[in-house]
Amino acid sequence: MTTLLTQSWSWWFSGLVISFIMFLLLFFGKTFGFSSNLRTICAACGAGDRVKFFNFNWKAQTWNLVFLLGAIVGGFIAGNFMNSGAPADISANTIQDLSKLGFNAPASMQPEEIFHIDSLMSLKGFLILSLGGLMVGFGSRYAGGCTSGHAISGLSNLQVPSLIAVIGFFIGGLVMTHVFFPWIF
C-alpha cells in the first residue's frame, strides 16, 4: 500500500483523474482553466484601475484561486508524504540528449541545473526562469487559455480555436527544444 502511494502513478490513471476534475468543475457550474487565475491575480492587485482588461468582477473567480491554493497543498502532500525520492523516470534517449546539453541524469523531479537556488543567482539562470514564466503568462492570455483550458477543456468540446492553440503550443515547444536549447545550454 505504501509503495502504491510513493511510486509514480501511471499515465492512464492521471489522465482519468484530470478528466474527472474537469467534469467535477462543470458539475459545480465552473470550467477547468488554470491560467485565468493569472488574470484574476492581476485584477485582485488593482491592475483594473489602469488597464481595462483587468477591470472585471474578479471576486466571482475566487473559487479558482481556492483551486490554485489546493493545487499548492496537493503538491506539498505529494512532495512530503508521498515521495519516494526517486528521480523522474524519463527515457534513456532523453537522458542522453540532455547530457549533450550539459544536464546530469535526473536526481529528482527537476534539474538542479535550472531550479537550484544557485542557478537563480546567475544572470543566465535568472533569465531562463523569468523569460520562461513571462512567455507562459503572456502567451496563455494571448491564446485565451493554457493546457487545461485549451488542450483539455477546449479539445474535449471539439473547439477549432483550441486545436489551433494546441498546435501553437507544439510549434513553440518544438522550436524552443530543438532550435533554441542547443544555443541556450
Partner 1 sequence: MRILKYLLAGIVFGIVMAKSEAISWYRIQEMFRFQSFHMYGIIGVAVTMGILGVFLIKKYKIRDYHGNPILFHPKDKSISRYLIGGTIFGMGWALSGACPGPMVVNIGFGFLTMSIVFIFAIIGTYLYGLLQSKLPH
Question: Contacts with partner 1 in 12-51 (CB under 8 A)?
Answer: 12-29, 34-35, 37-39, 41-42, 47, 51
Task: Tell me the closest approach of the beta carbon of residue 92 to partner 1, in angstroms.
Answer: 9
| Residue 180 in grid coordinates | 533554441
Instruction: Return d(Cα 104, Cα 106) in angstroms, integer.
Output: 6
DSSP letters, 139-165, are HHHHHT--IIIIIIIIHHTT-HHHHHH
Of residues 112-171, which lie at the interface with partner 1 (CB under 8 A)? 114-117, 119-120, 126, 128-148, 150-162, 164-171
Buried b (16+ CB within 10 A) or exposed e, 97-110: ebeeeebeebeeee
Task: Tell me the closest approach of the beta carbon of residue 43 to partner 1, in angstroms.
Answer: 9
Task: Tell me the closest approach of the beta carbon of residue 85 to partner 1, in angstroms.
Answer: 11
The correct pick among 1, 2, 3, 10 for binding partner 1 (CB under 8 A) is: 10
Q: Which of 185, 150, 156 has the alpha carbon at shortest distance from 170?
A: 150
Identify which of residues 57 and 80 has a Cβ nearer to partner 1 in the complex. 80
The correct pick among 1, 11, 60, 102 for binding partner 1 (CB under 8 A) is: 11
DSSP letters, 31-63, are ---STHHHHHHHHHTTGGGT-GGG-S-GGGGHH
Instruction: Return d(Cα 173, Cα 163) in angstroms, integer.
Output: 15
Site string for partner 1, 63-82 (x = CB under 8 A): xx-xxxxxxxxxxxxxxx-x
How many H-runs (helices) and E-runs (strands) does the chain carry? 11, 0
Task: Tell me the closest approach of the beta carbon of residue 123 to partner 1, in angstroms.
Answer: 13
61 binds partner 1 (CB under 8 A): no
Task: Tell me the closest approach of the beta carbon of residue 102 to partner 1, in angstroms.
Answer: 13
